[in-house]
Structure 1
């Protein structure tokens, strides 16, 4: 039985996983960090530690094994005890215990103190699913500044007063010509608009005289108007609340995750790439915050899935 696999499964969901008679693996959540001058960006994550003083059986690990191995709680407890006995034997022989994805336990000194070294290869924080660390190259501002100063010394800027004066005179003449042209166009437009207005009044008077003459001679028939149905535009409902399953730097991985959620029956969708160059994939989108929170609780209780809320 690969007991370390069951321990790592529980570390995704719980802060402390106790192995009865051996010790407890404790997960501490830390925020995102930036380390070193080269700017190594680390996403939010869980740091795993080991406490050999916590040995009581809280039932968490035994229940998980019983459900997965299809055995009773008592049988699962017995399987754990057998595994712990083999671990203690290895430690007595001063052999290291390697827990896959979790870390390594060694024996140190004559007092046989247990020393735990975390693996740090797996991020057990579900809300950071799809995020990985990256390194930004160091910006060498002082070097660039020195290079610019050298270029300035080699190619000094010289101002020519005469050319500057001639350019200013040309600008003055151009501005004067532009003003005169604008005044002339404005006067011509006013004269043209006045002529159009006078001609429009003459045409309107002739049309009105003819219309009055026709009204006096006309016989009116009232018919039932034909009413044509008008299709109203369909207003698309805005869904600003998204339950995010993960965010991916690769669009291909985002499409795979999207298809997997759709196959599981979720109304999943892939959102537009965000400012961090990541493609978020959502379990679903909702019109109100209440609907999103209800679905989030439903995911946690029915399928034991974690999701974080994104609001447009």
Structure 2
């Protein structure tokens, strides 16, 4: 039994997963941040930690294993205990236990378990599709200081009175030309609006007459079909369910359409389920109404096709 697989599945939906008689894996949300020195952007995520003091069985892990493997609850508890015993024996011998997609476990000199979380997976489903990236620093030039420096060296003096009086005296006909241009513009606008209204009225009257003629023709016409076509019955499978196995999310919709077609060519009932809160087009392998069926399908896909596939619980409109 791969215990880390079941723990990893539960960490997407719960903040605490207790392994009886061993410890608890905890998650807490960390907001997105920007490193001021390296200019690197880090998306929001769930940080993973381990608490050796929490060992009381709360039933979450055992019930999940019993449901997935379709075994009694007590048998699931026994399988967990056997796996924990094996892990502890390896730790006592000084070996490092590597839990896939979770982290590494190692005993320190005091006999306590040290945990180093994995950095290759983000258990925050809201941040799916986001990754770390680095931007270049934006440099801004201060133009105001440059202008002030130029003004100190070359002062500029403007005399409005002289400019106005000279231009008015030398070219008085500009005033009359401006007034005439304003009247021409207003007259053109009024004429254009009047002409446009006349065209609209003409088109409306013509449309009403055409509609009346069409109604008269339809009332007089008689439709007779001598050889009607046979009725065609199409069976379309409706993809429903709130449990979706996600294959990926794409910023460009054309890429999501291409992914859907690729999965359909491989026999999956792939489709798009809409755009998430980050503007990404989500593509799923399939949708299911039964959670156990969805988990079994997810395990098969992770084993045979895509180990990064994950289960999304979402009610679609």
Structures share a fold, TM > 0.5? yes
1:306 has 2:313 as partner: yes
| TM-superposed deviation, 1:55 | 1.1
In structure 2, relative to structure 1, the CA distance for the partners of 1:138 and 1:253 (3 Å cut) is: same
Shift of 1:54: 1.1
- TM-score norm. by structure 2 comes to 0.57
Say which is worse superposed, 57-66 or 2-11, in terms of deviation: 57-66
**Does the C-alpha gap of structure 1 residues 41 and 184 become closer, same or farther in structure 2, counting only changes over 3 Å?**
closer
Question: Which residue in the other structure is 2:281 paired with?
Answer: 280
Q: 2:257: which partner in 1?
A: 255
Residues 62-114 of structure 1 show CA distances to partners (whole Å, capped at 9, x for unaligned) of 222233334333332222222211211221122222111111122222x1222
Q: Deviations over 1:31-85 (max 9, x none)?
A: 3333334443333321111011111222222222233334333332222222211
Residue 173 to residue 27, structure 1, CA distance change in 2 (3 Å): farther
Residue 204 of structure 1 is matched in structure 2 by: none
Give the equivalent residue in structure 2 for 1:113: 112
Indicate if the aligned counterparts of 1:11 and 1:17 stay in contact, CA closer than 8 A.
yes
Paired residues for 1:127-276 under 5 Å = 127-141=126-140, 144-145=141-142, 149=146, 174-183=174-183, 226=216, 247-251=249-253, 254-255=256-257, 264=269, 268=272, 270=274
Residues 62, 80 of structure 2: 8 Å contact kept:
yes
Q: Contact conserved, 1:255 with 1:270, CA < 8 A, in 2?
A: no
Match of 1:217 in 2: none
Alpha-carbon offset, residue 138 of structure 1: 1.9
Count how many residue pairs are aligned between Structure 1 and Structure 2.
Answer: 245
- Per the TM alignment, residue 257 of structure 1 is displaced from its structure 2 partner at its CA by 6.4
* C-alpha contact (below 8 Å) 1:101/1:122 kept by paired residues: yes
CA-atom RMSD in angstroms:
4.9
Compute the displacement of 1:17 (Å).
1.0
- Counterpart for residue 49 of structure 1: 49
1:209 alignment partner in structure 2:
none
Q: Quick one: structure 1 residues 157 and 67, their matched pair in 2 at CA, closer, same or farther if it must change by over 3 Å?
A: farther
Superposed displacement of residue 2, structure 1: 1.8
Residue 5 of structure 1: how far off its partner (Å): 1.4
SS at match of 2:281: strand
Q: Which residue of 1 aligns with 2:83?
A: 83
Long gaps (5+) in structure 2: 192-214, 220-243, 295-310
Secondary structure (helix, strand or coil) at the match of 2:177 reads helix
State the partner residue of 1:95: 95
| Runs of at least 5 residues in structure 1 that lack an aligned partner in the other structure | 193-224, 230-243, 284-297
Computing the radius of gyration from Cα coordinates, the structure with the larger value is 1
Question: Once the two structures are superposed, what CA deviation does each residue of 1:275-295 show, in whole Å capped at 9, x if it has no partner?
Answer: x7x433499xxxxxxxxxxxx
After TM superposition, the score normalised by the length of structure 1 is: 0.58
For residues 188 and 64 of structure 1, the distance between their equivalents in structure 2, rounded to whole angstroms, comes to: 79
Change (3 A) 1:100 1:127: same
Distance across 2 between alignment mates of 1:81 and 1:70: 18
Deviations for 1:240-279, whole angstroms, at most 9, x for unmatched residues?
xxxx988533545533666679x6587x4555x99x7x43
Q: Tell me by how many angstroms 1:178 deviates.
A: 2.6
